[in-house]
């Protein structure tokens, strides 16, 4: 996944876990139909996939991307994705972002469409674009539609991931860019109306499976969650398979997950040479696994100490997990009721902007 300023060009690198370690890339479907219930969403996906068996190269084995974890630089590395796959069998996972040189704004900027066309011509996997709904003062719904229209006309791109905030490029930090620009979910749902031949995933401000399901009930094709899936993996990813995909609970516990992660961790420690990756790097995604649980604070303090001298994941766990009660370690996944705002997308369809009509200059790209 390559990021250009406010736009991100994403070559899907979603990975099934037939083993603990990532091996085979997973692929997106094109023109996936989605309905509102979990069973009908999954069923309609499989009906559609049968028409695309050759170019999908086996994607019919996988459930649709109803829930995905955002590509986050220095966060969604191989270690995090290993943990995430142990928790959820069906969440879609992306490799980290790779930052390219920032592209200087140019009038009419067709650059993304041309870039996507070149990328698509040089890879055998479908490509997608992740973008904000606008940049600085270029934040009208029509300008967003012009961008979608041009990119989809100039390239084979049929999947867009829409972050429902605009980007402010001057004088604001990345953290503030995730908080200050207002969310405009109505822009996302208007895109579903105005580009029925494309697939759109919604992103931004969605922090739980409850809120993800609320978006899906209103017709979203898919939902992408970022930091919540990293900071609260058990509370978020732990409910994806059951609450989003309607699968039976695996019943796996955090003790069992850590036993499997230990095998993975000890197999990769130091494999890149110069003691990299080290214990701290491999164990980093685990530090949020016991968020809000009894013993969490002590577990983190013991982890900080263990990073200084432990050489294996086995010794790291032996030293740190004494802080966590057995009742926490052995509690099955998806226990309890997930929290979140059921009404996050209430009445969103009442606020859709006027229908987009491609201007003559945009129609030239069709």
Supply the CATH number for residue 166's domain: 3.20.20.70
Cα separation, 150 vs 365, whole angstroms? 6
Q: Are residues 81 and 224 in the same domain?
A: yes
Coil, strand or helix: which one is 312?
coil
Please give the average per-residue pLDDT across 187-214, as a whole number: 97
Q: Are residues 318 and 301 in the same domain?
A: yes
334 or 59: which leads in pLDDT: 334
| Total domain count, the chain | 2
Partners of 347 in the beta sheet?
A: none
The pLDDT score that the predictor gives to residue 18 is 33
Mean pLDDT of the chain: 82
pLDDT at 53 over 60: no
362 or 269: which leads in pLDDT: 269
**Lowest-pLDDT range, 29-33, 292-296, 358-362?**
29-33
Q: What share of the chain is helix, strand, coil (3-state, %, to 5)?
A: 45, 10, 45
Please give the average per-residue pLDDT across 84-92, as a whole number: 97
Coil, strand or helix: which one is 80?
helix
pLDDT at 27 over 50: no
pLDDT at 52 over 60: no
Q: Are residues 143 and 176 in the same domain?
A: yes
Closest CA to 306 of 296, 316, 295: 316
Closest CA to 68 of 115, 10, 6: 10
- Helix 296-306 / helix 313-320 crossing angle, nearest 10 deg: 140
Closest CA to 128 of 2, 44, 216, 228: 2
Q: Are residues 167 and 220 in the same domain?
A: yes
The pLDDT score that the predictor gives to residue 1 is 53
Cα separation, 213 vs 36, whole angstroms? 9
pLDDT at 130 over 50: yes
306 band by pLDDT with thresholds 50, 70 and 90: very high
* Domain end marker among 223, 249, 275: 249
Longest CA–CA separation in the chain, Å: 67
21 band by pLDDT with thresholds 50, 70 and 90: very low
CB 177 within 8 A of CB 165: yes
User: What domain range includes position 275?
Assistant: 254-330
| Run of H or E including 40 | helix 38-49
Q: Are residues 138 and 200 in the same domain?
A: yes
- List b or e across 197-222, with b for residues whose CB sees 16 or more CB atoms inside 10 angstroms: ebbbbbbbbbbbbbbbbbbbebbbbb
Residue 9 lies in a domain: no
pLDDT, tens only, 151-181: 999 989 999 999 999 988 887 888 888 888 9
The pLDDT score that the predictor gives to residue 168 is 86
Task: Map 112-144 to HEC letters.
Answer: HHHHHHHHHHCCCCCEEEEEECCECCECCHHHH
Residue 279: CA count within 13 A, CB half-sphere: 17
* Domain end marker among 249, 269, 285: 249
293 band by pLDDT with thresholds 50, 70 and 90: very high
pLDDT at 67 over 50: yes
133 band by pLDDT with thresholds 50, 70 and 90: very high
Sign of CA dihedral 122, 128, 132, 133: positive
pLDDT, tens only, 253-279: 999 999 999 999 999 999 999 989 999
Q: Are residues 117 and 195 in the same domain?
A: yes
Q: Are residues 166 and 280 in the same domain?
A: no
The pLDDT score that the predictor gives to residue 40 is 52
Cα separation, 125 vs 103, whole angstroms? 24
The pLDDT score that the predictor gives to residue 109 is 53
**Lowest-pLDDT range, 37-41, 69-73, 96-100, 117-121?**
37-41
360 band by pLDDT with thresholds 50, 70 and 90: low
Omega before residue 277 within 30° of 0, cis: yes
pLDDT at 15 over 50: no
The CA-atom distances, in angstroms, between 241 and each of 192, 216, 289 are 25, 15, 17
Burial of 74 (0-12, 13-18, 19+ CB in 10 A): exposed
Residue 127 lies in a domain: yes
The pLDDT score that the predictor gives to residue 113 is 79
């Amino acid at each position: 996944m390559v990021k250009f300023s406010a736009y991100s060009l994403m070559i899907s690198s979603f990975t099934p876990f037939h083993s603990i370690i990532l091996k085979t890339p997973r692929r997106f479907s094109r023109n996936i139909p989605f309905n509102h219930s979990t069973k009908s969403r999954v069923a309609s996906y499989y009906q559609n996939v049968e028409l695309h068996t050759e170019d999908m190269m086996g994607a019919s084995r996988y459930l649709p991307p109803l829930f995905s974890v955002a590509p986050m630089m220095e966060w969604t590395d191989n270690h995090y994705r290993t943990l995430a796959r142990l928790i959820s069998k069906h969440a879609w996972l992306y490799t980290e972002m790779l930052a390219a040189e920032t592209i200087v704004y140019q009038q009419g900027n067709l650059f993304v469409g041309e870039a996507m066309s070149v990328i698509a011509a040089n890879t055998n996997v479908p490509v997608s674009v992740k973008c904000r709904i606008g940049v600085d003062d270029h934040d009208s719904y029509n300008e967003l539609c012009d961008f979608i229209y041009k990119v989809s006309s100039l390239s084979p791109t049929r999947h867009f991931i829409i972050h429902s905030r605009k980007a402010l490029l001057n004088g604001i930090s990345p953290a503030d860019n995730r908080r200050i620009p207002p969310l405009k979910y109505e822009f996302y749902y208007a895109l579903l109306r105005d580009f029925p031949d494309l697939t759109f995933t919604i992103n931004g401000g969605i922090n739980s499976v409850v809120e993800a399901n609320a978006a899906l009930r209103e017709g979203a094709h898919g939902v992408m969650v970022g930091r919540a899936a990293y900071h609260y993996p058990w509370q978020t990813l732990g409910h994806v398979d059951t609450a989003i995909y309607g699968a039976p609970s695996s019943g796996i516990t955090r003790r069992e997950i850590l036993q499997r992660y230990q095998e993975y961790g000890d197999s990769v420690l130091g494999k890149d040479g110069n003691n990299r990756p080290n214990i701290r790097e491999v164990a980093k995604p685990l530090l949020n696994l016991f968020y809000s649980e009894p013993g969490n604070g002590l577990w983190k303090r013991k982890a900080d100490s263990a990073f200084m001298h432990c050489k294996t994941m086995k010794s790291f766990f032996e030293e740190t997990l004494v802080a966590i009660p057995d009742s926490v370690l052995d509690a099955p996944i998806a226990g309890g009721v997930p929290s979140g705002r059921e009404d996050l997308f209430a009445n969103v369809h009442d606020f859709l902007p006027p229908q987009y009509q491609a201007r003559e200059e945009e129609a030239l790209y069709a």
